[in-house]
Amino acid sequence: MNAEAETGWPEAAVDYVQAIADTKLLLGQRYGEWMLKGPHLEDNISGASNAQDEIGQVRQLFRLLKQQGVDEEWLESERAPEEYANAPTLDEEAENWPTFVVQAALTDRTAWLLLDAIDHDDFTGMVQKMGEDEYFHLEHQDGRLETLAESQPDAVEAALERYFPQILTFIGPATYDQASDPLVNAGFTDRSVADIRGALHEHYVELFASTDVSVPPLDGDVPDPDQWDAKRRRTDDGHVEASVVDQLQGVSNKEYVIE
């Protein structure tokens, strides 16, 4: 058992879990937006299931964050768009199907890698259950990427070039290796940011190995560690649109809330 389990997590761990939870919240939103627009009814059904899984996982992660002292009202309904720590890949809705699949695939796999790296009793069991959900998300996406790499390689490659630097930025600086990653040193995670970056890159290099799609290089300079904000896991002040936050917070239907 980790020594922090009863006394609270390290402050950086709260930010880390907040970023995972917000990313899953936005993943649920993006899956929801696409669940009636996929090329097959089967894609829509899978997308709807993925959305439901993500929102369910967010409930659990928010519960843990509240236990760590994060204010419930702020978490659920009082945040401004720039206070969400979601992966920047999800700031905007993708404009077409191949772009959406790349957007969701890179982001969902990254969120899983970050979550799976947590080595803390508060997450034992819960992460295993989430992993059972994620198997279907990631298999769906990889299966889709395989077929899209054959039919629309240019679109897939363009989306990879757009999203890969963003997702590397979200994971964190390459300088956070096993010896220097603060959360590894704190005993909260057992896999460094540098390792997770490598794992993500290697996965897609292998997935596209026999196709015409090239995966962008694993650029060690992205993100610049001096510019990186560990709280929002970004180097800029980008954020999701206010209209999306209104949907996430239920602003437009507040009058129907059951008290």
Partner 1 sequence: MKYHVFTRVNAGDDLIHAGTVQADSDRLARIYAYRTYDEEDWEFIGVVREENLLEVKTEAIAGGYPQ
Task: Using CB under 8 A, list all residues that contact partner 1.
Answer: 40-43, 45-46, 49, 136, 139-140, 142-144, 146-147
Sequence-ordered list of residues with C-beta below 8 angstroms from that of 256, at least 6 positions apart, any chain: none
Nearer to partner 1, 51 or 171 (CB): 51
Cα 180–185–191 angle (5° rounding)?
80
**Whether 225 contacts 173, CB under 8 Å:** yes
Of 143 and 217, the one with the shorter C-beta distance to partner 1 is: 143
Three-class DSSP category at 110:
helix
> Closest separation between CB of residue 134 and partner 1, Å?
12
Distance from C-alpha of 5 to C-alpha of 27, rounded to nearest angstrom: 28
**What is the nearest approach in angstroms of partner 1 to the Cβ of residue 44?**
10
Q: Which of residues 101 and 168 has its CB atom nearest to partner 1 in the complex? A: 101
CB of 48 vs partner 1, minimal distance in Å: 9
Nearest distance, CB of residue 142 and partner 1, angstroms: 7
Buried/exposed code over 15-31 (b: 16+ C-beta within 10 A; e: otherwise): bbbbbbbbbbbbbbbbb
Neighbours of 38 (CB within 10 A): 18
- Least distance in angstroms from the C-beta of 23 to partner 1: 22
Cβ 112 vs Cβ 61: under 8 Å: no
Cβ count near 9 (within 10 Å): 24
Select 45 or 251, whichever has its Cβ closest to partner 1. Answer: 45
Q: How far apart are CA 120 and CA 124, in angstroms?
A: 7
In the complex with partner 1, which residue's Cβ is closer, 42 or 92?
Answer: 42
- Nearest-approach distance from CB 43 to partner 1, in angstroms: 8
| 41 versus 179: smaller Cβ distance to partner 1 | 41
Which CB sits closer to partner 1, 144 or 233? 144
How many Å apart are CA 115 and CA 17, to the nearest integer? 8
Q: Contact, 20 vs 196, CB < 8 A?
A: no
Among 168, 161, 165, 112, CA closest to 139: 112
Shortest reach from residue 12's CB to partner 1, in Å: 36
